[in-house]
Amino acid sequence: MSDAKLFSIITVVKDDPEGFAASLNSLEEQTHRDFEFVVVDSSSDPAAVTQMLEDSGLNEDIPTHYQWCTPNGIYPAMNLGLDNAAGKFAYFLNAGDRLHAPDILVKVAQKLGNDKSAWLFGPVEITDHVSNETATTPRWDYQEEKKNFFARGLFPPHQGTIASTQLLRDLGGFDPKYSISADYALFLRLSQMADPEEVDSPIAHFATGGVSTHKWRESFRQFHEARTQILRPQGISALREQLWTRWHFAKVWTYRELIARARR
C-alpha cells in the first residue's frame, strides 16, 4: 500500500519571510493532515525560512521537503516544486497566500474522493492592493466559460485550483514562455483533459499586486496567445474569442485607468 499523501502543498518563496509565515500558519491550522509540504526557496538569505520550518508545528506529523534554488523566475521554481511532489494532488500556495479556513482541505478531499477526479476549482478571496477592499470571486460557470474559450476574464487562479500531480507533469508543468500567465496556460490544458470538480467554499486568500497586476496589458496579450495556441478556435469561434477578449480588455482598462486612479 502506498504511503503517499493525498496532497502536495507547494510553496515558492523569495525574500518574503513575512508572507511565508502567513502561508505556513494557515497550513498549521488545517484539520486535515493528509498532506506533505514542499518548499522551494530562492531567498538571498534562506535562514529565516529554514528556521520557521524547524520551529513549525508541522514537523510533528507533516513530511516537509525544503530545497533552495537559484532565482530564475516563479514558474521554474513552481516546476521544481512539482518535480519534488509525491502527493496525489498538487496545490500551489505561494508565499503570502493563505488557505481560507482550517477545514478547507477536508472539503476539498471530500470532493476528490472519486478516483476519477483529475482536478478541482473553487472561489478565492482577493484583497485589492490599492483600495484594500476584500471580495470573494463569484461562482464560475465552467461549462459556460469553456463554451466562450475562457475569454471573458472568469477563470480560477492557481490559488483556487488543485490538480492531479501526475497529470500536471504529463502536461509539461508551467511553460515559462508565458512569463506572466503560465498558470493560466496550464489551466487551459487541464480543461482539455477533463472537466473539474467544484467546491463552493473559498479555497484561499491572496492580495493583488503581483507581476500580472502591474503588467496587465502584457497578461492580456499572453492570455490571448495561450487561448489561440492551446484551444485553437477557428472561424466563428475565433471571432467570438476576439470579441470577448476586446470586451474584457475594455472593462479592465476602465477600472484600472479610470476608476482605480480616481481613488488614489
80, 81, 212 from 90: Cα distances, Å: 12, 9, 22
**Residue 166 cell numbers, joined:** 501526475
Which element (helix H / strand E) includes 18? Answer: helix 17-28
Q: What does the CA dihedral 126, 129, 133, 134 come to, rounded to 10 degrees?
A: 10
Alpha carbon 223 to chain centroid, angstroms: 15
Instruction: Give the closest residue to 176 by CA, choosing from 35, 83, 76.
Output: 76
User: Does residue 250 share a domain with residue 204?
Assistant: yes
**pTM, full prediction:** 0.91
3 state DSSP class of 121:
strand
Same domain membership, residue 131 and residue 29: no
Question: Residue 111 has which C-alpha cell?
Answer: 470532493
230 & 132 share domain: yes
Q: Which has the closest alpha carbon to 6: 219, 162, 233?
A: 162
> 72 and 128 share a domain?
no
In a domain, 165, yes or no: no
Instruction: Indicate whether 22 belongs to any domain.
Output: yes
Domain count for the chain, please give it.
2
Check whether residue 94 and residue 213 sit in a common domain. no
**C-alpha to C-alpha distance for 51 and 45, rounded to whole angstroms:** 11
pLDDT digits (tens, 9 = 90+) for 126-185: 987 777 889 898 888 999 999 999 998 888 889 999 999 999 999 999 999 999 999 999
CATH number for the domain including 18? 3.90.550.10
- What pLDDT is attached to residue 213? 58
- Same domain? For 260 and 142 the reply is yes
Q: How many CB atoms lie within 10 A of CB 147?
A: 11
Same domain membership, residue 190 and residue 77: no
| Run of H or E including 124 | strand 124-127
Does the residue 164 lie in any domain?
Answer: no
CA distance 263 to 177: 35
Q: Is residue 261 one of the residues assigned to a domain? A: yes
In a domain, 193, yes or no: yes
The answer to whether residues 203 and 136 belong to one domain is: yes
Structural domain containing residue 19? 1-99
CA 232, 173, 186 angle in degrees (round to 5)?
Answer: 35
Do residues 61 and 134 share a domain?
A: no
Same-domain pairing of 4 and 71 = yes
Cell triple for 49: 525560512
Cell match 500580472: residue? 212
Q: What is the pLDDT along the chain (264 residues), one digit of tens a residue?
A: 357 899 999 999 999 999 999 999 999 999 999 999 999 999 999 999 999 999 998 878 899 999 999 999 999 999 999 999 999 999 999 999 999 999 999 999 999 987 789 999 999 999 877 778 898 988 889 999 999 999 988 888 899 999 999 999 999 999 999 999 999 999 999 999 999 999 999 999 998 765 555 688 899 999 999 999 999 999 999 999 999 999 988 988 887 676 656 665
